[in-house]
Structure 1
């Protein structure tokens, strides 16, 4: 099938966007979206912190978590305002004072909670990776297509940053020449564990360590970079190879703490290398896109363009990168892509979510693109844990076809 028609025919969300008891647009007044937070762990509370700074766009009216201490931690963040606290997310979904939900639960629960949220008539911001496996990705696409007036946005937040938009534009205009290699890392030096107040809660709190609940480092970290490559090049890999193991922390975990995945994108002539370890933090977040005319090196909030030495004399003007008229070889690290660091990617993602809910616009990171990335993660983990080369096959194509391509 032709990859570049992935979104063709998918259609835009239409009609009025806000659901339930909401303020309406009147003159210069803007509607405030009443939002519920399902899952109050680290990511859920992080989302709450950003949402609280967007008072003209959102008001948190409900929170939910099955663990009492996390629910209390979320309560303490909401120092003002009226909200309800729930331990059962289905009760939150019945709350008419909630228009949209942020879903920040363990990965294995993404699909059931998202499906119930759609069926309850809520818009949803669903954290990455979209679903636990490929079949769930297809099911969520089908359910979202039946409810086109509801927004489904997936939390690959970096693709909303002005920095990453600019990089996508540079790639499209050929600034890098012919891209042939992608090198990505997201490393840390720590065991990735959360403290457990009661041993019976081990799998609920440290779900990332267990295969039944988690996609491991590929789903939790590398999916961001995988998703950006899918988006920037309008592509997906044809084959996946991987290696990894529990090499650092022999503590009963099941998901690997040291992984390397290689994707092959033959139509573009690109090899994509995606790696993560829990045993060394020197690189941290590293994202390099390499072409015949230069390299883009990215952090989450800033980036530089480094031209190839043999290309500098030929390309004195490079699409107005940072407004400079000439790109010079620079041993200090190249030319900044933007003049200043960007905000946290979640801020931009939430602003786009607000616009999507208010207008019916299809978010850039939506159920269709989320499905493609979920498939990539699923195949990468198959290659990783089965120790075999995995090819993009008819099952993966079926998911893309079902999106309207």
Structure 2
């Protein structure tokens, strides 16, 4: 491949990818162009969604919230604006409100299916935080239920499907710039116990639900699901075999979900291995995501990425086209080519922009009930493999 063609096709030096998820001007489904939203679950993630909505130029308006904890409702009201929200402790009352067009669901994982199903049945568009469901059977049921409501959007919060950076990487993979990818390395590490402060000991499980198996899928569901989902999307695949290990290896504080996990996913069709790990005991790597191919490696953060060509690929890129001339490649200090000149926004901004587009135009979101179900199955197989010390295999009934 010539350097000129690489630059032309990959577009690594040409600025930001033309964002496909921009706000649209045709308000075919919402007469005044403002989608009225209810937020179900106003913990850290729910409040984060509210803050992002405020950045989207009046495309959404939060009108109602729901949480079982009063102090969470007060925090949400402070985040949006005092006196502007209808607050509920029962989400069914929020769903009864005919003025609410859509709901954002950011509850503990074990209640995702119940809340999403009720919202669809109430005629609401749904933005459902990842992982889509707590169990494989719930994923299967939600897929079937959504088929009854084809005019309602159900989008799942795997937001890296929406950023210009990750779109660009997906494009590079499909155009062959990495060659044959055989290895994926992924980590999401921290040196922190992952706990939130609890104002009352009786609220421990409601506040720190991520620590308890009754509510949570642990590190795989809450963190690694993002990278697992991206591989599914970028390669149009799913794993065939899943194995893993984990334990409560540092924080002996009564938690039930593991603070240290490692899973390996085997993709037979792609002849590829994916390694996904997370620990709460060391923050050195933080978020690490590398895709390794025969022609080069892509190293990703959440908002920026670099392409590192292999030796022979680098020679091709440095060949001067004496006839036509070629744009100069901008190498960074460690021999890589920045994929985008500027950092991406937070992925949630792009994801909620796409949610708006899907509602107002009928477009299918990139992260939908089918893709969400596929990744949910991956997460649950990984957790089963860890807990049961068994290799788990993909079954035909997991093909949605």
Q: SS of the residue aligned with 2:316?
A: coil
Shift of 1:315: 3.8
Aligned to 1:277: 279
Unaligned 5+ residue runs, structure 1?
1-15, 25-30, 318-323
Aligned to 2:159: 157
Aligned to 1:73: 75
| Contact in 1 for aligned 2:51/2:80 (Cα 8 Å) | no
TM-score, normalised on structure 1?
0.88
Unaligned 5+ residue runs, structure 2?
1-26, 320-325
Shift of 1:331: 4.6
Aligned to 1:314: 316
TM-score, normalised on structure 2?
0.89
Shift of 1:399: 3.5
* Pair 1:250-2:252 in alignment: yes
| Contact in 1 for aligned 2:77/2:84 (Cα 8 Å) | no
* Pair 1:178-2:183 in alignment: no
Shift of 1:54: 1.4
Aligned to 1:123: 125
Cα distance in 2 for residues equivalent to 1:372 and 1:316: 41
Match of 1:35 among 34, 37, 44: 37
What is the correspondence of 1:256-267 to structure 2 with a 5 Å cutoff? 256-267=258-269
Q: SS of the residue aligned with 2:133?
A: coil
Match of 1:213 among 215, 229, 246: 215
The change in CA–CA distance for 1:198 and 1:80 in structure 2 (over 3 A counts) is closer
Cα distance in 1 for residues equivalent to 2:366 and 2:112: 19
Aligned to 1:189: 191
Aligned to 1:99: 101
Shift of 1:168: 0.2
The count of aligned residue pairs is: 368
Please give the per-residue CA displacement for 1:256-306, whole angstroms capped at 9, x wherever unaligned. 100000000111111100000000001100000000000000000000000
Aligned to 1:8: none
Aligned to 2:134: 132
What is the correspondence of 1:215-234 to structure 2 with a 5 Å cutoff? 215-234=217-236
Aligned to 1:296: 298
Aligned to 1:23: 31
Over 4 Å off, 4+ runs: 326-331
Q: SS of the residue aligned with 1:128?
A: coil
Shift of 1:329: 6.6
| Contact in 2 for aligned 1:306/1:329 (Cα 8 Å) | no
Cα distance in 2 for residues equivalent to 1:117 and 1:353: 16
Shift of 1:72: 0.6
